[in-house]
Amino acid sequence: MEKKTGVYICSGCEIGNCIDVEKICKLAAEEFKVADAVIHPALCSVEGYDLILENIEKNKLDSVLIAACSPRVKTDVFDFPENILLERVNFREQIAWCYEPNDEDTQMAAEDYLRMGITKVINTQIPQPYLAENLSSDILVVGGGITGVTASLEGAKAGYKIHLIEKDEQLGGRANELYKMYPCKKPFTKFHEPFLDDLADELKTYENVTVYTSTQIQKISGEPGNFDVELINGSTKKIKVGSIVAAMGWKPYDANKLSHLGYGKSDKVITIQEFEKRVKENPNLKLPEKVLFIQCAGSRDEKHLPYCSNYCCSTSLKQSQYIRDLSPDSSVFIVYKDIRTQGLAEEFYKEVQKDDQVFFTKGEIDEVLVENENLNVKVKETLLGEDISLSVDLIILATGMIPNGTEDLNLNYRLGKGLPELKYNFSDSHFICFPYETRRTGIYAAGTLRAPMDIAASRSDAAGAMFKAIQCIEATKRGEAVHPRSGDKSYPELYMDRCTDCKRCTEECPFGVYDETEKGTPLPNPARCRRCGICLGSCPERIISFSDYSINSVSAMIKVVEIPDEFEEKPRILAFVCENDAYPAIDMAGTKRLKYSPYVRIIPVRCLGSVNKVWISDALSCGYDGILQIGCKPGDDYQCHFIHGSELTETRGENIQETLQSMMLEPERILTKFVEITDYHKIPEIINNYAETIEEIGPNPFKDM
């Protein structure tokens, strides 16, 4: 369908002083015969915006191209009716603020960006959301411990119907094992009674909560808004939910692996769990005179758990007070690596410190000697200036937590029954950028399943995960993506006639969007999609597209750039730049007025993983001299918003090198760089160095062919 596009060029913010906007305007009108082309000194002003609105009316436009500031800014200003396709060209951050004013190369860049913008408008459509029928707004909470119960309460309070599944006979999980809870509010001297009963009672007051005890999950299939869950409790029961909170908790580290700390050698060496149990069973327990707590027993230790479990310091402090209360003459020694009492637990720590008979030192346990009935502990690296030897009557090991597996979710996904895990078997959820989000859209990990934490932290985590689950339900109802492309209505559409069942998309999708038939034909679940476009990048048959992001739209943008012939000595570098970190970094370089080569032409991509090989061969046959890919850092502590999108550039790299070889081109024609959003200062270096490399290897022989 022919588009009626209006092109609006802003000459404010130095743009008008840097490039010949008249010429650009003429280019739009003459080369592309757009319906309307106007220059304005400040498009973001009320007058500017009104002018665009008027012209939309007057010229019956269906699309608008704004050549002004970066598409990342002023999104609230440039907000048009839903039926208007909006595209923005970055004349400010990526031209006026980083290139020489009134220079021939700057003008050429601006003209090319305008061509690319108009071409994109011509080749894309306004996304029509994926709206499935009979969507459920119910939420499944898996695990009836503190986290699960809290999440259920939060969801119920927000008015959603909650199904809470617990595999044991009663709710409570690990909290059932507690004698007391350490204080998390003033005064920090009083222990809390385990408040699980209160929570369970409160839960009963909500009619929209159904609790299933002694129940397990047989199968979960479907997608957000439409998860089919089969529960088993003697008989099978089927329910439908919109999203899921997984709160399956933790278990203590196996103390049998801690024989170097005396565990198993004497019944006077126990864990904090065992001690808690003893006191719970007999609150008037007779306790020995001298007790030693060994912190980080098997934690922060490469041979055992390399991480801090967060709850053990506070728990030992709590138990030290059980001992001191039960026998006032007792002395408690605490040997720690660091006392880590997070949040308000620090206040509790300060209270315990006031006790004259609790003795602290940092130290490493050198040896635990068990002779007859005596325990003697040698401690090195202490803060007392020398090694010490302690004779005690009881040793309590503060063991860390390991997450329960998530296999019990029994996900009917091609990529496995459980949630993908990252470090140390915790369910992957990016700890800074998107906590709770797992790689299974609509399923949110909460509490100790995703990171070691104490009860207070688990409770706030439960609320966070529940709100994510609610967000997901609502977004799914609108046919929109969840984080990080929140609100995106596009989704992958597959032209199945040409599918060869190669399984690339099903394998490479980080989010398990694609199930497959026995033959291997992909079965998409669009509501699971995060819209990264990795499948689009993976498909050798180029059958996957989004209505506003497709093989064709990007190919056309690549091809519309004017490539000067080799005698002009103006090389062209095509840069595929990840929208999440790299593109903002380039904008920031502009904001800081850092200059870089004007020979580069930037195309933002949803993720480096969405770059299809065909774009590269298109670019090379068009005569671009080099291709630069800039994306987020891959690896274990990844920054990639789509988990392993940028990593795929490496695995796909071989294929691409084959393409280069078959075209008889140098391997340096393609370069991939990883940056963080704060690496804006590296941008000029990356681009300029690559421009130099390209000048060294000379022009692409395909120019003018």
Q: What is the DSSP letter of 635?
A: S
Between 151 and 396, CB nearer to other proteins: 396
Q: Does 307 bind other proteins (CB under 8 A)?
A: no
CB 408 to other proteins: min, Å: 41
Name the residue among 169, 159, 121, 166 with its Cα closest to residue 139. 159
SS3 613: helix
Tell the residue number behind the tokens 């999980």, with chain if given.
173
CB 284 to other proteins: min, Å: 24
Q: What is the DSSP letter of 362?
A: E
Q: Does 188 bind other proteins (CB under 8 A)?
A: no
Between 71 and 363, CB nearer to other proteins: 363
Q: Does 355 bind other proteins (CB under 8 A)?
A: yes
Between 44 and 352, CB nearer to other proteins: 352
Between 390 and 643, CB nearer to other proteins: 390
DSSP assignment of 485-527 equals STT-----EE-GGG-----HHHHH-TT--EEE-TT--EEE-GG
State how far the Cα of 673 lies from the Cα of 119, in Å rounded to an integer: 27
Q: What is the DSSP letter of 608?
A: G
Between 360 and 491, CB nearer to other proteins: 360
CB 355 to other proteins: min, Å: 7
CB 341 to other proteins: min, Å: 10
Tell the residue number behind the tokens 């809470």, with chain if given.
164
Q: Residue length, the chain? A: 705
Q: Does 187 bind other proteins (CB under 8 A)?
A: no
Q: Does 331 bind other proteins (CB under 8 A)?
A: yes
Strand partners, 209: 162
Between 386 and 518, CB nearer to other proteins: 386
Contact 438, 420 (CB under 8 A): yes
CB 189 to other proteins: min, Å: 14
Q: Does 612 bind other proteins (CB under 8 A)?
A: no
The amino acid at 84: I
Q: Does 335 bind other proteins (CB under 8 A)?
A: no
Q: What is the DSSP letter of 305?
A: B
Strand partners, 202: none
Question: Between 359 and 388, how does the x/- string for binding to other proteins read (CB under 8 A)?
Answer: xxxx---------------x----xxxxxx
Name the residue among 504, 516, 492, 508 with its Cα closest to residue 541. 504
Size of the site for other proteins (CB under 8 A): 25
How large is the angle between the packed helices 146-157 and 196-204, nearest 10 degrees? 30
Between 360 and 642, CB nearer to other proteins: 360
Bridge-based pairing of strands 85-90 and 63-68 is parallel
Q: Does 342 bind other proteins (CB under 8 A)?
A: no
CB 312 to other proteins: min, Å: 17
Binding-site member from 350, 478, 498, 681 for other proteins (CB under 8 A): 350
Between 326 and 433, CB nearer to other proteins: 326
SS3 385: coil
SS3 315: helix
CB 509 to other proteins: min, Å: 48
CB 323 to other proteins: min, Å: 15
Tell the residue number behind the tokens 């509501």, with chain if given.
527
CB 626 to other proteins: min, Å: 52
Q: Does 333 bind other proteins (CB under 8 A)?
A: yes
Alpha helices (runs of H) in 127-271, residue ranges in sequence order:
146-157, 196-204
Binding-site member from 128, 189, 389, 655 for other proteins (CB under 8 A): 389
Choose one: 350-358, 508-516, 531-539, 691-699; the region binding other proteins (CB under 8 A).
350-358
Q: Does 189 bind other proteins (CB under 8 A)?
A: no
CB 359 to other proteins: min, Å: 5
Choose one: 51-59, 345-353, 516-524, 645-653; the region binding other proteins (CB under 8 A).
345-353
Choose one: 130-138, 351-359, 598-606, 679-687; the region binding other proteins (CB under 8 A).
351-359
Instruction: Please list every residue from 478 through 517 that binds other proteins, using CB under 8 A.
Output: none
Rg (the chain; Cα; Å): 31
Contact 271, 255 (CB under 8 A): yes
- With a CB cutoff of 8 Å and minimum separation 6, the contacts of 25 are 7, 9, 37, 38, 39
State how far the Cα of 65 lies from the Cα of 117, in Å rounded to an integer: 7
Q: What is the DSSP letter of 301?
A: -
Between 182 and 333, CB nearer to other proteins: 333
Binding-site member from 133, 207, 356, 371 for other proteins (CB under 8 A): 356
Between 386 and 654, CB nearer to other proteins: 386
Q: Does 345 bind other proteins (CB under 8 A)?
A: no
State how far the Cα of 262 lies from the Cα of 225, in Å rounded to an integer: 52
State how far the Cα of 364 lies from the Cα of 249, in Å rounded to an integer: 30
Q: List interacting residues with other proteins (CB under 8 A).
A: 331, 333, 339, 349-350, 353-362, 378, 383-391
